[in-house]
Amino acid sequence: MSLARTWLFSVPLILLSTIVLGTMTLIASLFDPNGDMQHRLAQFWAKTLLAVSLVRVRSEGVEKLDPRGSYVFVANHGSLMDIPAALAVLPQQFRFFAKKGLYKIPFLGSHLHRAGHLPVDHTNPRNSLKSMTEGARVVAARGISMLLFPEGGRSAEGLGAFKEGAAYIAIKAGVPIVPVAIAGMRELLPIGSAHLRSGKVTVRVGDPISTKGLTIGDRGELTSQLYVAVAELLAR
């Protein structure tokens, strides 16, 4: 199937699945204060989105995770489709940080808030620290996981420098931190492109890194360790 035909086939189904499941998620949020049902719907939406886009995602290393455990996942970020790929593969209930401005968008903002995702203001270090602290509290209190893209945004090429927020959250919450590599998605939907190509993507899960005995002062060294781990996973 040509790229043009694939796109014409996929777009209506992407829009339909997003509208239908988005509506279901909004309705579910009225009866689901913890966001658990919304997360399951988001996982179904992600798998549907990938399927109709003819994007095949396979996983490596998921067996390293305790299905009942909570983690801070750290992944590279090169495409808008990275979150659907993570939703389709990772078995844990996880939340993520979204730019504060997204919460002002009708419908989307309501979903993010009701689902338990957290706003973050990258332009204000003090507010950003408050968000990280709240993220650690949520992980520790509710036993759920967090997904962070420590590059701070999508990277057009290579692997950008990691910020220390993920390490801060994991240490403060006292949970393991897990390096994750999303390989191949940037090539299918690069920055600035409106065309999602069909193809294969691999989500590689690395060994969980214990934060037991670490202090906030160790976050820089842990961040460096995570960077090396993600880079090695991408290079496989």
Give domain status of residue 42, yes or no. no
Give domain status of residue 4, yes or no. no
| Model confidence pLDDT, tens digit, residues 68-86 | 899 999 999 999 899 999 9
Give domain status of residue 13, yes or no. no
Give domain status of residue 33, yes or no. no
Q: Starting from the edge strand earliest in sequence, which strands make up the sheet with 55-60, in order? A: 55-60, 199-205, 177-183, 72-75, 145-148, 94-99, 118-120
pLDDT at 117: 80
pLDDT at 103: 74
pLDDT at 5: 46
Q: Using 50, 70 and 90 to split pLDDT, how confident is the model at 42?
A: confident
Give domain status of residue 182, yes or no. yes
Give domain status of residue 66, yes or no. yes
Give domain status of residue 178, yes or no. yes
Give domain status of residue 140, yes or no. yes
Count of domains for the chain: 1
Structural domain range at position 61: 56-235
CATH number of the domain that 60 lies in? 3.40.1130.10
